[in-house]
């Protein structure tokens, strides 16, 4: 029955990891703590049981501004839902209260403060809840990155509603936070379900920040027309970045705690309704945001902890499609956070400084980004993730790391550890500026030692030495705390004696078109014109429903529609994310648009799904149709001939062909692709360092079709498995 409801209301064929187990806990009345990463489908874990059980399910949600979207989303799935919070008028409260008493609701979203008021308790006395779910449960814990005192009130829920099971949900929780949640909520014999924190569709990049906004703009330019989030530390910095991005022509708005509730809500809704390119925000933005099609998250400055960083970057790619996460940091960010923490209680300041150091270590290391993040939550991944700048080879260890570090540390020592990073950089590059000459530092043996490198590169290395704790930055004695100087640590002195070796990185310069991204290209087979037409229709439907666009359809659903092009309701319900409710509500207009577009552009319709395989996973076993195609390929038939013989779309037969090439270990594509063209594709693919097709397609200026690229890439994979100098399966020499 659960799978039937999943398909009917959500349009999904199967559950995500741990969703089924979490639902069973709810239906079985066993308290639970469910930790699923952002995009792991927490809301379904309490929405689906609300459909199965009689009685009202309560969901505690922390932000009033989010409840409308949560209610709209639930109603779009065919779940009768409402909200109860301080924004409701007396009349609205009476309407919701009557709906509760008359058993018209499946689900009620309520703020923590309102749950335990006399009014709500009186209502629930006549209609006891079937279960209570607490969303964003890390807010309960004083060790959580978003601790909220009002959440501590929820510790009395078990006493107020004896016999009612309690279920805590969060996207991020260290072992310490998990223990605190269980204890604070008085969960009894709770099942603790920990999801997999590794999200390979998020591609992480970290760079030292350069002056201006060029780094941010370069990322946003590649995602024009798609949604993103830009985070900064302070309100003033948010306003500054937002203003400058507007001058660059981007549609952005700010979001921070210094704005009125109405202004924040208006700007948030503009992003949710796809009216903005990005929101520029402090950490005040994002908790519980359910926008599935965020394609990038940029941290313009250092985040405050790995927990908050994982939570904030996790708001990208919730639809499972590729998304990018960029972090641009500087030493000044660390000092900004220290000043903020200085006004906190001692225990908060100390834990905050430890968390900040962990972020610095993450930013300046050359360790797989995903491995560091999942390791922080007590999990592991094996091998290279192929979803971060380190594993993709965009950063490389400088071969002369030890010598470079010794030159930098020696300069700090010879300047008597009384100068900051800017001055040390000037000395190393051989500057003749007045301050360098004033102190006679042009006479030092370290003056000009690194003059062949840019100041930005040297500052980056200094930052890496700070992050790896070979240097420390401290306030200059007797001076303003705003002026910091560099000093050697004991580890740094070991480097000078060649008893320790840092790992200093430098970016690898590559052709931009072939360095992005891991996983298989999620745009493969998608007709771009149809996708844009469907986006326009989604925007119209969302405006008519006064709901965010992602609630109508996610980007993943639009891509599947533009890839498979269904022309009847039966095929429509087979598309990812479309159940009976959405098919009935939106189906006629969607099908009409697809039929019209495909007729005008002479496109095939009713295509099958394309099996997409993640990196590191085995290829799927060929089915009966594929095996039948193999026999025809063995007879020397072309794709067009096999397509006619089997009455299959050519796109489907091309999929069979790629499976055939893999199964037969063919490394010569000349049967299907002219040798001159194959050589060009193979050359570009050899630089790509990725299995994705789109970067190769872009590097070839879009002039070569995906079918030819797929064939050559499949053959190149087989060639790379063989010793050099071998010949192809049918005896022909390799294409060079």
Q: Is 41 inside any structural domain?
A: yes
Predicted confidence at residue 615, as pLDDT, reads 36
Q: d(Cα 617, Cα 619) in Å, to the nearest integer?
A: 7
CATH code, domain carrying 302: 3.40.50.300
CATH code, domain carrying 534: 1.10.150.80
CATH code, domain carrying 633: 1.10.10
User: Using an 8 Å Cβ cutoff, are 429 and 457 in contact?
Assistant: no
Q: Is 728 inside any structural domain?
A: no
Predicted confidence at residue 263, as pLDDT, reads 92
Predicted confidence at residue 78, as pLDDT, reads 85
Q: State which residues form the domain around 224.
A: 202-394
Tell me the backbone φ, ψ of residue 250, rounded to 5 degrees: -90, 145
276 and 165 in one domain?
A: no
183 and 142 in one domain?
A: yes
Predicted confidence at residue 612, as pLDDT, reads 41
Helix (H) or strand (E) holding 488, with range, is: strand 484-488
Predicted confidence at residue 132, as pLDDT, reads 94
Ranges of residues in the chain whose predicted pLDDT is under 50? 480, 510-521, 611-619, 724-736
Tell me the HSE value of 392 on the side-chain side, using a 13 A CA sphere. 29
Q: d(Cα 276, Cα 256) in Å, to the nearest integer?
A: 16
Q: Is 521 inside any structural domain?
A: no
257 and 109 in one domain?
A: no
Q: Is 516 inside any structural domain?
A: no
Q: Would you state the structure tokens that stand for residue 175, as one six-digit string?
A: 């072992």
413 and 432 in one domain?
A: yes
560 and 641 in one domain?
A: no
Q: d(Cα 18, Cα 41) in Å, to the nearest integer?
A: 9
From the list 645, 621, 648, the residue with the least C-alpha distance to 632 is 645
Helix (H) or strand (E) holding 109, with range, is: strand 107-110
Q: Where are the alpha helices (DSSP H) in 483-568?
A: 490-496, 528-545, 549-552, 555-564
Per residue in 571-587, pLDDT (tens digit) is: 888 787 888 888 888 99
How far is C-alpha 495 from the geometric centre of its chain's CA atoms? 37
Q: Would you state the structure tokens that stand for residue 281, as one six-digit string?
A: 């925000």
Q: d(Cα 545, Cα 72) in Å, to the nearest integer?
A: 9
Tell me the HSE value of 440 on the side-chain side, using a 13 A CA sphere. 2
User: Using an 8 Å Cβ cutoff, are 366 and 390 in contact?
Assistant: yes
Cα dihedral 102, 108, 113, 114 in deg (nearest 10):
-20
Q: Would you state the structure tokens that stand for residue 311, as one six-digit string?
A: 């939570």
Tell me the HSE value of 727 on the side-chain side, using a 13 A CA sphere. 5
Per residue in 478-519, pLDDT (tens digit) is: 554 557 899 999 999 999 999 998 888 876 654 333 333 322
**Total Cβ atoms within 10 A of residue 272:** 23
Predicted confidence at residue 724, as pLDDT, reads 42
How far is C-alpha 187 from the geometric centre of its chain's CA atoms? 31
635 and 657 in one domain?
A: yes
Please classify residue 351 by burial: count the beta carbons closer than 10 Å to its beta carbon, then call 0-12 exposed, 13-18 middle and 19+ buried: middle
433 and 351 in one domain?
A: no
86 and 33 in one domain?
A: yes
Q: d(Cα 83, Cα 393) in Å, to the nearest integer?
A: 48
227-231 and 202-208 beta bridge pairing: unpaired
Q: Is 734 inside any structural domain?
A: no
Instruction: Tell me which of 601, 636, 664 is where a domain ends.
Output: 601
98 and 245 in one domain?
A: no
425 and 386 in one domain?
A: no
Tell me the backbone φ, ψ of residue 58, rounded to 5 degrees: -105, 135
From the list 417, 418, 437, the residue with the least C-alpha distance to 427 is 437
42 and 105 in one domain?
A: yes
Within 8 A by CB and 6+ apart from 503, the residues are: 365, 366, 397, 401, 464, 468
Helix (H) or strand (E) holding 23, with range, is: helix 19-28
Q: d(Cα 504, Cα 269) in Å, to the nearest integer?
A: 43
């Amino acid at each position: 029955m659960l799978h039937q409801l999943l398909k009917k209301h959500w349009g999904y064929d199967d559950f995500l990891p741990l969703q089924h187990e979490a639902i069973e806990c709810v239906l079985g009345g066993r308290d639970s703590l469910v930790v699923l990463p952002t995009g792991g489908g927490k809301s379904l874990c309490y929405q689906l049981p609300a459909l199965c059980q009689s009685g009202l399910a309560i969901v505690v949600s922390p932000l009033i501004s989010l409840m409308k979207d949560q209610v709209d989303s639930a109603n779009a799935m065919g779940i009768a839902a409402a909200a109860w919070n301080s924004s409701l008028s007396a009349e609205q409260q009476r309407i919701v209260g009557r709906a509760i008493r008359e058993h018209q609701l499946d689900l009620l979203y309520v703020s923590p403060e309102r749950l335990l008021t006399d009014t709500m308790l009186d209502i629930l006395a006549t209609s006891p809840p079937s279960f209570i779910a607490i969303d964003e449960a890390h807010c309960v814990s004083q060790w959580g990155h978003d601790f909220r005192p009002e959440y501590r009130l929820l510790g009395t829920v078990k006493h107020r509603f004896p016999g009612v099971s309690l279920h805590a949900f969060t996207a991020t929780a260290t072992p310490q936070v998990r223990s605190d949640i269980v204890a604070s909520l008085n969960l009894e014999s709770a099942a603790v379900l920990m999801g997999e924190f590794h999200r390979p569709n998020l591609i992480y990049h970290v760079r030292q920040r350069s002056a201006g906004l060029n780094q941010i703009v370069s990322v946003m330019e590649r995602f024009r027309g798609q949604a993103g989030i830009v985070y900064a530390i302070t309100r003033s910095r948010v306003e500054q970045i937002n203003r400058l991005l507007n001058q660059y022509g981007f549609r952005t708005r700010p979001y921070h705690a210094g704005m009125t509730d109405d202004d924040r809500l208006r700007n948030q809704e503009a992003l949710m309704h796809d009216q903005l390119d990005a929101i520029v925000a402090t950490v005040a933005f994002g908790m519980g945001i359910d926008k599935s099609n965020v394609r990038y998250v940029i941290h313009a400055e250092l985040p405050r902890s790995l927990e908050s960083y994982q939570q904030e970057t996790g708001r990208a790619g919730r639809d499972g499609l590729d998304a990018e996460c960029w972090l641009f940091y500087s030493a000044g960010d660390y000092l900004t956070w220290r000043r903020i923490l200085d006004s906190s209680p001692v225990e908060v300041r100390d834990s905050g400084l430890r968390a900040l150091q962990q972020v610095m270590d993450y930013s300046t290391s050359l360790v797989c980004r995903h491995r560091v993040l999942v390791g922080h939550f007590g999990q592991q991944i094996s091998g290279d993730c192929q979803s971060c700048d380190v594993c993709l080879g965009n950063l490389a260890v400088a071969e002369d790391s030890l010598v470079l570090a010794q030159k930098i540390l020696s300069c700090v020592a010879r300047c008597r550890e009384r100068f900051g990073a800017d001055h040390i950089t000037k000395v190393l590059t051989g500057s003749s500026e007045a301050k360098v000459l004033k102190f006679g530092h042009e006479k030092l043996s370290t003056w000009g030692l690194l003059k062949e490198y840019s100041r930005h590169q040297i500052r980056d290395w200094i930052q890496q030495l700070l992050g790896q704790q070979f240097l420390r930055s401290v306030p200059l004695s007797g001076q303003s705390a705003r002026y910091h100087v560099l000093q050697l640590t004991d580890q740094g002195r070991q480097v000078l004696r060649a008893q320790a070796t840092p790992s200093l990185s430098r970016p690898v310069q590559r052709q931009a078109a072939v360095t992005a991204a891991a996983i298989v290209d999620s745009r493969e087979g998608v007709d771009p014109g149809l996708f844009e037409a469907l986006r326009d229709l989604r925007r119209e439907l969302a405006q008519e429903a006064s709901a965010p666009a992602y609630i109508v359809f996610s980007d993943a659903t639009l891509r599947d529609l533009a890839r498979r092009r269904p022309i009847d309701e039966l095929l429509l319900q087979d598309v990812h994310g479309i159940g009976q409710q959405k098919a009935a509500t939106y189906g006629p207009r969607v099908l009409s648009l697809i039929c019209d577009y495909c007729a005008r552009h002479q496109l095939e319709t009713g295509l099958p799904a394309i099996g997409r395989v993640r990196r590191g996973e085995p290829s799927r076993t060929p089915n009966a149709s594929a095996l039948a195609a193999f026999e025809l390929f063995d007879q020397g038939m072309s794709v067009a001939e096999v397509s006619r013989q089997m009455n299959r779309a050519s796109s489907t037969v091309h999929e069979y062909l790629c499976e055939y090439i893999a199964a037969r270990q063919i490394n010569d594509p000349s049967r299907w692709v002219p040798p001159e063209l194959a050589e060009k594709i193979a050359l570009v693919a050899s630089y790509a360092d990725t299995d994705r097709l789109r970067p190769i397609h872009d590097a070839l200026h879009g002039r070569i079709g995906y079918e030819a690229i797929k064939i050559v890439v499949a053959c190149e994979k087989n060639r790379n498995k063989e010793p050099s100098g071998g010949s192809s399966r049918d005896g022909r020499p390799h294409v060079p």
